[in-house]
Structure 1
C-alpha cells in the first residue's frame, strides 16, 4: 500500500471522528446513568461522555497528570507515524499498513480533543450545551481538553457466580466502556494485527520457523 492511500485512510477516520465529536459536543448536554440516551436502540446507545484521562477514564494524579498523558500520546503518535512510513518504505504487507494507519488515525484523533478542545469549546454540563469559541474562553487550557466519547454497546449483563473470587455475586455489564470512532479505529487495527500477524510480520514468522 502506498503512502497516499494510507494518508487517505487516516484523513477519512479523523474527519469522521472529529465530525461526530463536534456534532455531539455542540448539540447535546452530558449524559449519565440517570439521563436518557441521545439514541437508544437497546444494544446500542448514543451517549455524551467526556473523558479527562486515558481508557476507561483512568487518570494520572496531580496538576500535571493530564499534561504528561498528552505529551506521552504525542510521542506515541510520532512513533506510530515513523513505524508507518518505515513499513511503507520497506514494502510491508498491505494489512500491516492498514492496521498502522488505523492505529495512527485513532491516536491522532484523540490527541486533537486533548490538546485543543479545552481552548475551542465552552464546558459541557448536565443541562448546558457547549459553544465553540466562547467570548469568555474555553473550559481548559491547551493540552487539558477532554476526549469526547459517545458509543455504547451494552450487549449483555448478568451476575458473576458466587464461587468466583473477588467478583463473585457482583453484577456485570458487557461491553461497559463508552468510546468513540478514534478508539474503534485503534481497537480494529490492533485486532487485525493479531489475527493477520503472519501476513503482517512474515519475516518474524520465518525466523521463528528457522
Structure 2
C-alpha cells in the first residue's frame, strides 16, 4: 500500500470553489433575477438565469421552522465527512481517479455551504421571516439548460398539474454531479485497484512486525517418505558404532552371489 498526499486533491477543490464563488458573485452583482436578466449563451437551450434556491437541490425545502438551519448544519457535517474520507482514501493509496472525483464532490459541498452560511448576512438574501440571517442564505443558481418547460400531466403523483422547467443549477452542483457520475461509471475499476493495493505487503516491514507461530500450531504428524512409509522421527546416528543397528554393507545375507 503506497500512501499518497491529499494536498493536490485539496488544491483542486480550492480551485473549483474559487470558480464557483466567482461565478455566483458575478451573477449577483451584474444580472437581474428571473427572466428579465436572462442571457442566452447557446441558442435557446443554454442560458444564464439568475435564481435563488432557498432549499436543497431542485428547490426542495424542509417544511419546518428550523428546516433551513438543520439543512445548513447537515451540509457542514457532510462537508467535514467528505474531507475526512478524502484524506483517508489518499493515505490508503486509493486510485487517483477516485480521489479526483472525491475532490470535486468536496468542492461542490463546500461551495453550497458557503452560500447557505454567509450569503444571508453578506448578500442579504435570507428568506423573509428567517429567525437569523446566519445559516439561512439562499444558494445562487444560474446555469439553465432549457430542454423543456410546461405543466406536468395531472396523473403524475404529487407534482401533477404544476408548472415545471428543467432545473437551474450552479458550478458547485455540477462538481457534485460529475464527481458522483465518475465514481458510478468507474466504480469496478476503482475498487478493484483498491483491493489489489490492500493485498500488497506493507511498506514498513521490520523485525518488530514479525510474529512467531506458537509451538502448539505446528503439525506433529510423523513425516513419511515419498512411497508412504513412515520415517523414524529420531533416527539413531550412524556415527556411534555401538548404537548403529545397520549391518555391514557386504553381509552374506544381502550378497547376490551366495553359494
Do both proteins adopt the same fold according to a TM-score greater than 0.5, normalized to the shorter chain?
yes
RMSD (CA atoms):
3.0
2:138 aligned partner: 146
1:117 aligned partner: 119
1:22 aligned partner: 25
2:40 aligned partner: 39
2:76–2:113 CA contact under 8 A, matched in 1: yes
1:1-210 aligned within 5 A: 2-32=5-35, 35=36, 37-41=38-42, 42-123=44-125, 141-155=133-147, 166=156, 176-202=166-192
Distance 1:11 1:88 in 2: 17
2:20–2:170 CA contact under 8 A, matched in 1: yes
| 1:27-60 C-alpha deviation (Å, 9 max, x unpaired) | 122114xx35133531201010000000111111
- When normalised by structure 2's length, the TM-score is 0.64
State the 4+ residue runs in structure 1 displaced beyond 3 angstroms.
155-160, 169-174, 203-206
Quick check: which one's helix share is greater?
1
Q: State the structure with bigger RCO (CA 8 A, min sep 6), 1 or 2.
A: 1
Local SS of the residue matching 1:48 = strand
Q: How many equivalent residue pairs? A: 186
Question: Which blocks of at least 5 consecutive residues in structure 1 are unaligned?
Answer: 125-139
2:95–2:193 CA contact under 8 A, matched in 1: no
Higher gyration radius (CA): 2
- When normalised by structure 1's length, the TM-score is 0.78
